[in-house]
Copies of this chain bind each other. A is one copy, B any other.
Amino acid sequence: MPAKTDHEARRRDVSAAVWKVLAADGFSGLTLRAVAAEMGVSTGLVMHYFPSKHALIVHALEVAEERTRALIPEVADLRTALAAALPVSPEAIEINRVWVSSWDVALAEPELGALEQARYRRWRARLRPLVIEAQTTGDLPTGDPSDLVAGLAAFTHGLVVQALFDPRTFGRKRLLHLLDAHLSALRPPDGRPGTIAPRVQKPRAGASR
């Protein structure tokens, strides 16, 4: 009775087109017609694979989370995990632009806001063991890991936003320097030096900036 084409594969095609539109124009530019035009088909096809625009948005956010996850190496220490989240590569810039752009709709629609809340909690949960590990090696001070995790997530995402709007000031080298300097500053005085981040006291003279 049924099919001819690979439904799952075609759905991924649509998903990819959605992502291209998002990367180019953000959520305010995400329309069914833009997605259809991107892949050279009709809006009817798009709605054949996604029942509504809302489903398209939810799916796009899932893709964004998956891409973010894929950005971080399977086995990583804290510095690596945080550095991967910074907009230090074209791919990372694209993903972060989509994230930041999504916050508008996420704040406007409670359901999407709840999804974003859950995503943040997942991110912090993934960071948590890395923070605890850094605490045991003396790279981070003792104290409530939850506080440290929230603070490091905040630091990272705050840098992301500033970098997206001011890529000249916050280039790749400077972002990584800021991260290292921050981790270094957090290291307790009695911590053994240099396990997860180089000790940075004074920035080198010719550093990016």
Contact = CB atoms under 8 A, between A and B. Distances in A.
Interface stretch (A34-42, A46-54, A60-68, A155-163): A155-163
A27 interface: yes
A158 B120 CA distance: 11
A203 B166 contact: no
A161 B28 contact: no
Counting every copy of the chain, the complex holds 2
- For the residues of A in contact with B, the DSSP-based class is helix
A162 B189 CA distance: 29
Most buried by B among A101, A102, A103, A116: A103
B27 A143 contact: no
A107 B178 contact: no
Contacts of A158: 153-159, 161
Interface residues of A, number: 54
B151 A182 contact: yes
Interface string A157-188: 11101101110011000000110011001100
Interface of A: 25-29, 97, 100-108, 113, 116-117, 120-121, 141-144, 146-147, 150-151, 153-159, 161-162, 164-166, 169-170, 177-178, 181-182, 185-186, 189, 200-203, 209
The 10 closest A-B pairs by CB, nearest first: A154-B158, A158-B158, A104-B104, A189-B189, A157-B158, A154-B159, A26-B108, A117-B165, A101-B104, A117-B166
